[in-house]
Amino acid sequence: MTAAMVGWAHLPFGKHSEETVESLIVKAAVDAIRDAGLEPSDIDEILLGHFNAGFSPQDFTASLVLQADPALRFTPATRVENACATGSAAVHQGVRAIATGAARFVLVVGVEQMTTTPGPEVGRNLLRASYLKEEGDIPAGFAGVFGKIADAYFQRHGDQSDALAKIAAKNHRNGVNNPYAQMRKDLGYEFCRAESDKNPFVAGPLKRTDCSLVSDGAAALVLTDPATALGMRKAVAFRALAHVQDFLPMSKRDILKFEGCQQAWGKALGTARLSLDDLSFVETHDCFTIAELIEYEAMGLTREGEGARAILEGWTEMDGRLPVNPSGGLKAKGHPIGATGVSMHVLTAMQLTGEAGGIQVKDAEIGGIFNMGGAAVANYVSILQAMK
C-alpha cells in the first residue's frame, strides 16, 4: 500500500452553464481539503486532470487550483492529460508523488466543462482521442469509432443488441440513486432496446442509450502515505495500480480484445495478490455499452466473445456476483472527460467507507476501477481497500 485517500469531494455532473472550469475546480478543491480535515497550507503538490482539447478557451489551467485559497500559492501544480483516462492519470501521478516521498499531501482535481460547446464541435474535440490519420473521417465522431467496434463485434460473436440494452438499463437504474448523476431516470430495458424517435441509432448498432452523456463536472481527492493516513478520520488505500498504454491506431491491434485493459487488470490483480472474485464491485469505463461488454471479457469475468452472459445472467447487477457500475457509470452519471477518473476513485472510496447512500454495495470491502482513454489505448486500473 503506497498511498491512501483521506478526503474527497464530488460535484453533481450535468449541464452547468452558470459555472466555469475555474469555479468547478475551486469548489471541488475546497471541499476535498476540508473533507480531509486539512488546511490548504498542508498541501505539498497539486495535480489537475483536464482534457480540454478545445472545450475551454483557457488551456493553461494547472494554476487555477490555486484560486481555491491564497495559501496554495507557490505549491507545485501540474496539469495531466491522457484522453478519457485523464482523471486516473492524475490520480496515479499523485500516488507516485506520495510513494517516492516527494510529497506528504497531494491534492488531485479532475474537471471538464463540455456542454457550453456546440454539438458538432464536441464531436470533433472527442475524435482527437483517436488516430486521426486513419480514423479521423469516421462518421459520427467518437461514437462512430465505437459503432465500428460494435459492428465488428456483432460480426464475430453475433448480435448483442439485447446485452447492450441490458447494460444501458442496468446503469440507468443504478444512477437513479446517485445524487451526483446527470441522468437519474430508470429508462427500462424495453426503451433501451427499441429504436424510437427518442432513442435513434447514432452509429452502427449503437443507439442514443448506448452512448455516455456530454457533461460538466469536477471531483477531487487528497492523498497521503499510509502511516499518516492511519491517524486521520478516514483512509482508503491503494492495494495496487497499473497503467498500460497500447497503440493508438486501431489497425495495429485486435480492437475487439481490449488487450491493454486485460494487461492492466492482470498487473493490478497480480500486484494486489487478488483475483477478480475478491472484488466487491467494479467501476468500469462504459463510455459506450459495447465498451462495458468487452471489458467484462478483458477483466476476466467471462471468456472472449461471451461477455453478454455477465449481463444477461445478472452477474453485474447490484445484487450479482460482481456489481459493475453501481454509480450508474458514465452512462447515467455523465462523462466530463477530465473529471471521470477522479470521480471513479471518489465514488469507490465512498463505497468502501459506507458513505455511498442509495448506491451502496452491501459489505463492500475491495473495489476495482478501470478507466480508459481512447479505444482502450490508455488503460488504468486501481484496486482500493479501506484502511479504517
Whether 192 is a known active-site residue: answer: no
Q: What percent of the chain has pLDDT over 90?
A: 98
pLDDT in tens, 145-189: 999 999 999 999 999 999 999 999 999 999 999 999 999 999 999
CB atoms within 10 A of CB 200: 10
**What letter would DSSP give residue 45?**
E
Q: What is the mean pLDDT of residues 315-326?
A: 98
pLDDT value at position 388? Answer: 82
pTM of this prediction?
A: 0.98
Q: What is the mean pLDDT of residues 46-51?
A: 98
Superfamily of domain 4-117+214-229: Thiolase/Chalcone synthase (3.40.47.10)
pLDDT value at position 355? Answer: 96
pLDDT value at position 140? Answer: 87
Q: Check whether 14 has a pLDDT greater than 90.
A: yes
Domain ranges of the chain: 4-117+214-229
The C-alpha cell 467496434 sits at 149
Q: Which of 16, 84, 243, 287 is catalytic?
A: 84
Q: Which of 185, 178, 202 is nearest to 289 (CA)?
A: 202
Compute the half-sphere exposure of residue 50: CA atoms within 13 Å on the CB side of its CA.
28
pLDDT value at position 1? Answer: 82
Q: Check whether 84 has a pLDDT greater than 90.
A: yes
Instruction: State the average pLDDT for the chain.
Output: 97
pLDDT value at position 372? Answer: 98
The C-alpha cell 487550483 sits at 65
pLDDT value at position 106? Answer: 99
Q: Are 95 and 345 in contact (CB under 8 A)?
A: no
- Give Cα 191 to chain centroid, integer Å: 25
Whether 84 is a known active-site residue: answer: yes
Backbone angles phi, psi at 19, to 5 degrees: -100, 170
Q: What is the mean pLDDT of residues 71-80?
A: 98
Q: What is the mean pLDDT of residues 240-264?
A: 98
Q: Check whether 375 has a pLDDT greater than 90.
A: yes
The C-alpha cell 475491495 sits at 366
Confidence tier at 337 by pLDDT (50, 70, 90):
very high
236-245 and 281-283: which strand pairing? Answer: unpaired
Q: Which of 10, 243, 285, 335 is catalytic?
A: 335
Measured CA to CA, the distance from residue 111 to residue 22 in angstroms comes to 9
Q: What is the mean pLDDT of residues 369-388?
A: 97
pLDDT value at position 381? Answer: 98
203: β partners: 206
- Angstrom distances, CA of residue 100 to CA of 95, 97, 223, 282, 387: 9, 5, 13, 28, 20
- Give Cα 28 to chain centroid, integer Å: 17
| Sheet of 216-224, strand order | 77-80, 45-49, 106-113, 216-224, 4-10, 236-245, 378-386, 366-373, 281-283
Three-state SS for 76-145 is CEEEECECECHHHHHHHHHHHHHHCCCCCCEEEEEEEECCCCCHHHHHHHHHCCCCHHHHCCCCCHHHHH
Locate all alpha helices (DSSP H) within the chain, ordered by sequence. Answer: 21-35, 86-99, 119-127, 132-135, 141-157, 161-175, 189-193, 226-229, 259-272, 289-298, 307-312, 329-333, 337-352
